[in-house]
Amino acid sequence: PMGMPEAVIIGERNGKRLNAWQLITAVAEAARVGVVVGKCACFGGPSKGNPNPTDTKGVWEVVQKKTGNQSARMPVTP
C-alpha cells in the first residue's frame, strides 16, 4: 500500500528499514527487464479495489512511474 509504507517493511540497508516501494524502485532502476508474476503483483490484488484507501498499486505501476520502463506481466497464480 503506497499510503501505508510502514505496513510493508521487507528489508534493511545500511541499518535503515526498507519498504516495498523503496526496494522495488531500487531494483527497477538497476534492471534492464522486469517480470512481474502473480495477480496481486500485476494488478494490486483485492486491496486495490474501490475505494482503495491505502493507495495500493501493482508492481508494474510503481516501476513505470519511477523509471518509465515497462514490465512483462504474468498474472498467473501457480
Q: Residues 14-33: pLDDT tens digits?
A: 999 888 888 888 888 888 77
DSSP assignment string, 50-68: TT-TT----HHHHHHHHH-
pTM of the full structure: 0.60
Task: Give me the residue label for grid cell 500500500.
Answer: 1
pLDDT digits (tens, 9 = 90+) for 43-66: 888 888 899 888 888 888 878 877
Report in angstroms the alpha-carbon separations of 14 from 18, 32, 40, 54, 78: 10, 25, 29, 28, 35
